[in-house]
Amino acid sequence: MPPDELNKHQIEDGNTPLTGDETGGLIPPHLTTRADLNQWEIRNIERAMGWIGGRTLNVLDQAILQELHRRMFDETWKWAGEFRDSDKSISAYHWTEVPRLVRDLLANTQAQYEHGAKIPKALDELAIRFHHEFVRIHPWPNGNGRHSRLATDLLLQSWERPPFSWGNAAHPTKSGEVRARYIAALRAADAGSFDELRRFARA
Ligand SMILES: Nc1ncnc2c1ncn2[C@@H]1O[C@H](COP(=O)(O)OP(=O)(O)O)[C@@H](O)[C@H]1O
Ligand SMILES: [Mg+2]
């Protein structure tokens, strides 16, 4: 994946509430503001992109999926690459369900790929469903949005599909509007209508 693909994986989040444990998992001791942390995370993710180096990774392999999160946040959070061990307001799923839910999602996506039509529309749809369910499970204490957008683009790459545009903004980090559309599209998908998310993903 080229370096200019990077920014769109950094859509500003702001405020997933962290538990005391997770804040305690912050590695750099000197960061004081949210902006400092954002910058630090951007560098960490840039190093992860360097590690990928344009390779095609099989993110339906759970070890690789976890390694991707670890590489994106290994210099930021002690728990990088490890599933959450507390509940999140964003996810309806209890944290103890996460390992099974992720395993099932990966296996189901692989099975649908193998048995489905290998045409662009079908592959994009499968990637949309994968992304939506993955962020619904919300496997990580933090970094779910950034990790799952990158994982989805790598999934598309492994199927020889171009990455999603994710709202088609050059710098979504700066745009509250893009984030609002993204969250609204995820909510609509929660309610069973995926049109907004399809339009958002390939603007
Ligand atoms: N109602 C919602 N509000 C915020 N984020 C949501 C919501 N529903 C799903 N999400 C997903 O959760 C992500 C935010 O989770 P978080 O772990 O903080 O990720 P990141 O730190 O990468 O932004 C969003 O990018 C989105 O993918
Ligand atoms: Mg966050």
Distance 173 CA to ligand 1 centre (A): 13
Q: How far apart are CA 44 and CA 133, in angstroms?
A: 25
Tell which atom from ligand 1 comes closest to the C-alpha of 190.
Answer: 8
Q: Residue 36 — very low, low, confident or very high, per pLDDT cuts 50/70/90?
A: confident
Q: Is the CB of 145 within 6 Å of ligand 1?
A: yes
All structural domains of the chain, each given as residue ranges with its CATH number in brackets, are 3-201 (1.10.3290.10)
Q: Is the CB of 142 within 6 Å of ligand 1?
A: yes
Closest-CA residue, ligand 1 atom 4, reads 183
> For 74-109, how does the pLDDT look when each residue is reduced to its tens digit (9 = 90+)?
999 999 999 999 999 999 999 999 999 999 999 999
What pLDDT score was predicted for residue 3? 42
CA 181 to chain centre: 16
Tell which atom from ligand 1 comes closest to the C-alpha of 179.
Answer: 25
- Least confident interval from 32-36, 48-52, 108-112, 172-176: 172-176
What pLDDT score was predicted for residue 98? 98
Q: What is the pTM of this model?
A: 0.90
What pLDDT score was predicted for residue 170? 58
What pLDDT score was predicted for residue 5? 46
Q: Write the secondary structure of the chain as one string of H (helix), E (strand) and C (coil).
A: CCHHHCHHHHCCCCCCCCCHHHHCCECCCCCCCHHHHHHHHHHHHHHHHHHHCCCCCCCCCHHHHHHHHHHHHCCCECCCCCCCCCCCCCCCCCHHHHHHHHHHHHHHHHHHHHHCCCCHHHHHHHHHHHHHHHHHHCCCCCCHHHHHHHHHHHHHHHCCCCCCCCCCCCCHHHCHHHHHHHHHHHHHHHCCCCHHHHHHHCC
Q: Is the CB of 90 within 6 Å of ligand 1?
A: yes
Residue 9, pLDDT above cutoff 60: no
Q: Is the CB of 183 within 6 Å of ligand 1?
A: yes
Distance 108 CA to ligand 2 centre (A): 27
